Amino acid sequence: MSKPCTIHDYQQLARRRVPRMFYDYADSGSWSESTYRANEADFDRLKFRQRVAVDMTNRTTQTTMIGQTVAMPVALAPTGLTGMQWADGEIKAARAAEQFGVPFTLSTMSICSIEDIAAHTSKPFWFQLYVMRDRDFIGRLIDRAKAAGCSALVITLDLQILGQRHKDLRNGLSAPPKFTLNSMLQLMSKPAWGLRMLGTKRHGFGNIVGHVSGVADLSSLSEWTAKQFDPKLSWDDIAWIKERWGGPVILKGIMDPEDAKSAVKTGADAIIVSNHGGRQLDGAPSSIEALPAILDAVGNDIEVHFDGGIRSGQQILKAIALGAKSTYIGRAFLYGLGAAGERGVTDVLNILHKELDISMALCGERDIRNVGLHNLVNPGVFSVE
């Protein structure tokens, strides 16, 4: 195959190189996957306003996220089981993000631990928190993130219960993975992947195993995780988390204007418009469709970030033009990671940046901070009712 030049090229490579159950875990939605598909497809409804005979020199995509300077308006989203796409995957992705100059967000359900990432990077990263029933554990997890120098806490609000993901059910994927005949055959079909996994000791959930009473190995982890997602999570819980954390807080999973207003009241520093990549409530709107109403509801009261369906720099530009302060990529960087490890993540970031920069120039803009509704022919396509 010729050198990959798009995110979809890397997607095809990852599909060939990662065992099916782990590739499907990353690249799937819930139920019929209609929201998963809409996340990407709905970007096509937005059209750029092309400009000519304008000065396109000295362009910059540099901006800020919660006060942190970033090379482009992108952060690597928290993704579970990242270390199963490529051995030590979270470390590889964090290094690539640091080198490029964008934030990396470590998932609670990562394979590599908070301490692993801190030991292999030189700049602060972000940590994503799932609020579980075991509040003592959550408190200690927050303290570990603080001790590791994490510079922001991303609290995911939309996983109180798990959406029904049919690909995972058919593949028999669980947390932790159970090794059946089917799964073993999948692993054996990817020998290069297997050899890399043999070369690392990190195969479990590093943030959990050994840090929870009674959870010392993968077998005991399965029973614990099945009981831990908290259906009683409420806005009141954010207060004690913020107090324990004491730093910048970002709330992820906002899809409704009323929820956005409630998020503002918590004193959070930013919200992420996100439907969990279409992995929770199938039939919900795409993230890009939900964005304008949320922006209208909160105005300038809070920084609004965007997550969902981004596979190109043009889609980043469209989200920024609609009013998002910045964006997140999940599957896009996982494709690069699964295809080529750290180098693949770096390539994905470079592809996105080039597409963003060229598209911005052709819209007549030299500074990403000046991009807005005026760069779209049909900015009201997702009308606020």
Helix 331-362 × helix 313-322 angle, to 10°: 70
Out of 276, 305, 353, 374, pick the active-site residue: 276
The CA distance from 300 to 346, in Å, is 33
Cβ contact 27:12 at 8 Å? no
Which two structure tokens, joined as six digits, stand for 368? 């990403």
Angle at 183 between CA 180 and CA 189, to 5 degrees: 140
- Residue 109, φ and ψ in degrees, nearest 5: -90, 40
Which two structure tokens, joined as six digits, stand for 297? 């509801």
Minimal CA–CA distance to 255: which of 231, 281, 287, 295?
287
- Residue 22, φ and ψ in degrees, nearest 5: -85, -35
Residue found under tokens 């939605």: 29
Pairing label, strands 63-65, 68-70: antiparallel
Neighbours of 370 (CB within 10 A): 11
Please give the distance of CA 324 from its chain centroid, rounded to a whole number.
Answer: 15
**Known catalytic residue at 353:** no
Give the DSSP H or E segment for 334. Answer: helix 331-362
Positions marked catalytic: 276
